[in-house]
Chain A
Amino acid sequence: MFNFSFINSFFLYGLALAGVPVIIHLVNRKKAVSIKFPTIRFIQISNKRVARKFKLRQIILLILRTLAVLAIVFLFARPIFRSEESALGYTNAPSSSVFIIDNSFSMLYNNGDTTYLESAVTSVENILVEQKKIDNATILTTCNIGEASSPKLTFDKSELLTSLRDIKTGYTKSVILDNFKVAVELLKDSSATIKNIYFVSDMQKNSWDNISNWPDILLKEIKEKSINVNFVDIAAGKAKNIGITSVSVLKQSKGKVSVLNLFSKIQNFSASLMKDILVKSYINDSEAVKGFVSLKSNEASDKNFFAPVPESGMITGKIELKDKNFAPDNVRYFSLKAFRTVRTLVVDGDPTAQLFTSETFYLNFGLNPMKDSYSKIEARIVTYDEFKKEELANYDVVILCNVEAVDRIKVLDLKEFVGGGGGLLFFLGDKVDPIKYNKMFGELLPRKLRDVYTEVSKGKKTPFDYIDINDYSHPILTPFEGQNNGDLSVAKFYKYFILQPSVKRASSIVLEFSSGNPCVIEKRYSKGRVVLFTSTADRAYNDLCIYPTYLPLVQQMTLFSANALGKEAYNELVVEDVAQLSVDKSISDVTVVDPQKNILYRQTKALKEIAIVKFTETYYPGFYKVYSGKLTRDELEKAEPIDIFAVNVNASESDFTKIDEALMMKLFDKNYNYITQKDGAEKRSIMFFSGSEIWSTLLLLVIIVLLLEGIISSSWRKKKNVKGAKWKEEMYSKRH
């Protein structure tokens, strides 16, 4: 008629304790003391007389005590009482279950011997093992990469177990609502009597940001279709975690020295003090700087390191701390390009005795404004005669300022220099003869010069043109983008060179005048770059050099021609952020290798001067290497990456604060079942929905039994306080 089941059946082992009162009784008997007494005559008579009463009382006490022990054991085992019909109906009826397993990387939290994910898998395994042949189920995960496959309920337990064991943690955001939608859709169509959703998770609050906005229709369906929602909380106790929540890196100058400012934020997510946590920084796989951090409960702190800058090329590094509980947020990666100082040879084609009238006076200040301070450009001014003796291989860029003529050998040197990857920058002037220049430099010039263009009014130089920028897409113009970043149009131009039109489109116009004539034009020559400024570097043809915008413009042109433009700072990317990569315009395909060694091919999108790639598959934390072209795995081993970018985990997963249970209870109402222990979750959930707990009845029983025991045992214990025989007192009183 009736059936009992137990939620915490483990405690039923405690039934063995029922023997304790008997053992105590026997031990007490064994522990009886011995006394030599004058006579045992009266004791024997008394024993005989009270024996029956004594034995009866002893038996009653023994029964009561045993009953009390049993009741307490059952109380802990949490029995569920239900009628046989409902129990049979429930346990024998077919069921459909959808297991939603939280595989976010917070499940990597190590709670002693196992991670949360391992606990979750074990818990689901336990439930699956309990299921009957007529039960079907499916498994969903909250963090999925790529398009989710359409899940189906299956009766094949081995298939479910296999897929269960294949679950790996993901670093993407948990998608809980969508999983519930899928689960409800699956269960809605199921013909099973019992429908269960098991959400196995660490119940982290962050994953449930939008819980209050869950669609009513979904909740309504859960209630109408009597879908039991079981939340299996596998995170016992409070998690203890400290993690790095962000990192940024900036190349800075400290006096004459360049350093990397590694700036990280570290937060203690625990309720206790975390003392002397070792934090280390690594640059290009080598340990750079380290320090310690101590944080109070839920305190966040900034930790700065100043590390030396490697000479040039890509810099990859990480900041790491020691915390055994939760590894993913213990490390944060960064990457950036470092450029060495651009060595520039400036050839003054019109040197004068007075410095300020010199052709290169302004240019020199523009390239290196304060000699003692840090500048990316190191300029050396020489005359043409000196230039002829210079070894060009010692420089990155050569700037020819109003140089009248260059002999053939030097031109060949220049061609070789630019062809090898060097930069060449032309500033023109009154010494420049277009015909001679075209003939002399030939292919080196971005475009052939045609003539000098000027407007003379009443014999005076009249400013007639200015720079007009419509497109800031060229890397040289990047600093000028935005309203407050300098206005190049303020500069007045009196004279400039007009260029011949080109059919080949080998060159690109960087800047134009309002008249449409090119102001700055650049061209790739083999591996190098040539930039041509169609006017003078000094005030002879224009007054650009007296404006602040002159400085960034000449520096950008120099750096561009030296192929040394690029950000020297790292802006953090986290998982699922879009990485926008700039590559050379000539590159049409790139190969990206992610931290899991997956190879992905992407086509570039060519802009005017560069090509870009938007990379969205940032699913894992670590370094992503970008290679030019479509490369096979073998080819990748030999190739050098053209770029490396770092992706980090989302710091929100570091906070293990749990979601408010009351909120969930409100949301799912009667269908809600919160299970905090992993073992036997299936049993507990079945019982929860098919019977009622009788712990209150048991508690009452325990109290009554203990009360009875107390009364019976104390009824003769009271006599313990008898001081003496009354008859003796009476005897004395009568005598006197």
Chain B
Amino acid sequence: MGSDQHLGAGERRGNLPKLNWAACHSSVLQPKINMNTPERKNLLDPVVIAKIARLALRIKSPARGLLTGIHKSVYYGSSIEFSEHKEYTPGDEIKFLDWKVYAKSDKYYVKKYEDETNLKCYIVLDMSASMKYSGPQFILPEGDANGTDKADDSKNSDGRPQSKFDYAAQLAATLSYVLLSQQDSVGLLTFNESISKYIPPRSNMAHLHVILNELQNAKESGTTDLPHVLNELSEKIKGRGLVIIISDMLDEDESVLKNLKLFKSRKHDVIIFHLLHSDEVNMPFDRLTFFEGLESGAKELADPQLIRDEYMLQVEEFVNKFKMVSRENEIDYYFIDTDDSLDSVVTRFLFRRRKF
């Protein structure tokens, strides 16, 4: 590997003529690359960052942060924003007594102000084997050199086809950056059948380096067991937080949905990015094909032309199921496929969250 391949996104100054942040954090954002894992460059795409620079990620329910941030806090504080009056009880600070109300009503009332705090965000990233899919890698029969379907639609900047995990990692990196930029704490949790790696939330910008490094070195493997992971995560999270799940959700639907409901009941603000590859959605193949499951290894012979309609129906049902449950449980649900450009996905997401 050449030295150029070790460069982090921040070092690509040439690509970021107007982005001062990149120049400032170049040394911080340089991740260490594990030689045994696929190289992921540009986890933070400057173009995407440029587009979302003016947007902030907001949460639906008040946060319990210790630091001052942009989110409403569950604590009442000393900010200038008046919230309500409360009858004085012993223990209340005398300085918050509203003397004007006392003068009018001869009763002691204290003023309550809303506090703004920072947010603890947990990015839960699926790194199971199914996330490895980056397009059809055909294994042609002997003597057949005319494989026409090629996966060159979406590629990484280094020419490698972009996998679902690549896309998810970019999304996670971008969201981390956004959150850290607004003084929020961000933690990362990668999982397959169990939690693979847990990085607790931190709010300093240097923490982005840790996250990027983990994203860089993560290797997709194993099967998905989201219910188990959600259980584990709920034990780890103290208090309310923002939980962003980025996964293809290729697991037992009912079990996943059940656990999502449970998780939501703990007052977490849950956002699901349901990520599928465009091939999974559209089944664009023509030839008779042996499909081999990336997680299960099972094989199935099918004529894509013939099953396409039925397949798409199945996928639609699968997605709709998640969509419905999310709606019912106030889970913010986003379906994305890898053909969607990341900037539009993130922009759309942040723009939508702005109204909370």
Contact = CB atoms under 8 A, between A and B. Distances in A.
Interface in B167-221: none
B144 interface: yes
Given A28-B288, A29-B288, A36 B294 contact: yes
Contacts, number: 139
A725 B316 contact: yes
B97 to A, nearest CB: 48
Contacts of A717: 305
Contact of A32 (B131, B287, B298, B352): B287
Contacts of B122: none
B300 interface: yes
A720 B308 CA distance: 9
A32 B298 CA distance: 16
Interface string A13-53: 00000000000000011111111111111111111011000
B315 A725 contact: yes
Contacts of B285: 35
A530 to B, nearest CB: 102
B201 to A, nearest CB: 28
Interface string A703-720: 000000000000011011
Contact of B282 (A28, A38, A50, A725): A725
B257 interface: no
B319 interface: yes
A46 B131 CA distance: 22
B282 A43 contact: no
B214 to A, nearest CB: 22
Nearest to B314: A42
A49 B319 CA distance: 19
A112 interface: no
Contacts of A34: 138-139, 289-292, 299
A30 B279 CA distance: 23
A716 B305 contact: yes
Nearest to A38: B130
Interface string B132-144: 0100111111001
A728 interface: yes
Interface string B304-317: 01111111111110
B295 interface: yes
Contacts of B308: 719, 722
Contacts of B248: 38
B280 interface: yes
A724 interface: yes
A655 B250 CA distance: 85
A355 interface: no
Contacts of B294: 36-39
A731 interface: yes
B337 interface: yes
Contacts of A719: 305, 308-309
Given A50-B306, A725-B282, A41 B288 contact: no
Given A29-B288, A43-B307, A46-B307, A35 B315 contact: no
A727 interface: yes
Contact of A43 (B305, B311, B320): B311
Nearest to B293: A40
Contacts of A31: 141, 144, 288
A663 to B, nearest CB: 56
How big is the A interface, by class? 35 or more
A41 B352 CA distance: 33
Contacts of A722: 282, 308
A42 B317 CA distance: 10
Interface in B257-297: 276-282, 285-296
Nearest to A731: B335
A597 interface: no
B318 interface: yes
B130 A39 contact: yes
SS of B interface (majority): mixed
Given A28-B288, A50-B306, A42 B318 contact: yes
B303 interface: yes
A723 interface: yes
Interface residues of B, number: 59
A54 interface: yes
A38 B139 contact: no
Contacts of A45: 310, 314
Given A33-B287, A38-B277, A43 B316 contact: no
Contacts of A727: 312, 316, 319-320
Given A46-B311, A723-B282, A35 B289 contact: yes
B278 to A, nearest CB: 7
A207 B354 CA distance: 104
Contacts of B337: 728
Contacts of B311: 42-43, 46
A720 B138 contact: no
A32 B141 contact: yes
B280 to A, nearest CB: 6
Contacts of B1: none
Contacts of B298: 40
Contacts of A720: 286, 305
Given A29-B288, A46-B311, A724-B278, A38 B250 contact: yes
A47 B300 contact: yes
Contact of A33 (B133, B289, B296, B352): B289
A35 B164 contact: no
A679 to B, nearest CB: 39
Contacts of A46: 302, 307, 310-311, 313-314
Contacts of B131: 38
A736 B309 CA distance: 26
Contacts of A37: 133, 279-280, 291-294
A30 B144 CA distance: 11
A35 B130 contact: no
A630 B340 CA distance: 116
B292 A35 contact: yes
A39 B288 contact: no
A719 B284 CA distance: 10
B305 to A, nearest CB: 6
Nearest to B149: A33
B91 interface: no
Contact of B310 (A49, A723, A724): A49
Contacts of A40: 291-293, 296, 298-300
A728 B133 contact: no
Contacts of B278: 724
Contact of A716 (B291, B306, B314): B306
A33 B310 contact: no
Contacts of A735: 348, 352
Contacts of B319: 727, 731
A35 B284 CA distance: 12
Nearest to A53: B306
Contacts of A30: 141
A24 to B, nearest CB: 12
A719 B312 CA distance: 12
A31 B289 CA distance: 9
Interface string A451-476: 00000000000000000000000000
Contacts of A49: 310
10 contacts: A34-B292, A35-B291, A38-B130, A39-B280, A40-B296, A50-B306, A722-B308, A725-B316, A727-B312, A731-B335
Name the 10 nearest CB pairs between A and B, nearest first: A46-B310, A38-B130, A34-B139, A46-B307, A42-B314, A32-B288, A46-B311, A34-B290, A727-B316, A40-B293
Interface of A: 28-47, 49-50, 54, 716-717, 719-720, 722-725, 727-728, 731, 735-736
Interface of B: 130-131, 133, 136-141, 144, 147, 164, 248, 250, 276-282, 285-296, 298-303, 305-316, 318-320, 323, 335, 337, 348, 352
Given A37-B133, A38-B295, 14 more contacts: A32-B287, A33-B138, A33-B139, A33-B289, A35-B136, A36-B293, A37-B279, A38-B277, A40-B299, A41-B293, A42-B318, A45-B310, A46-B307, A727-B316
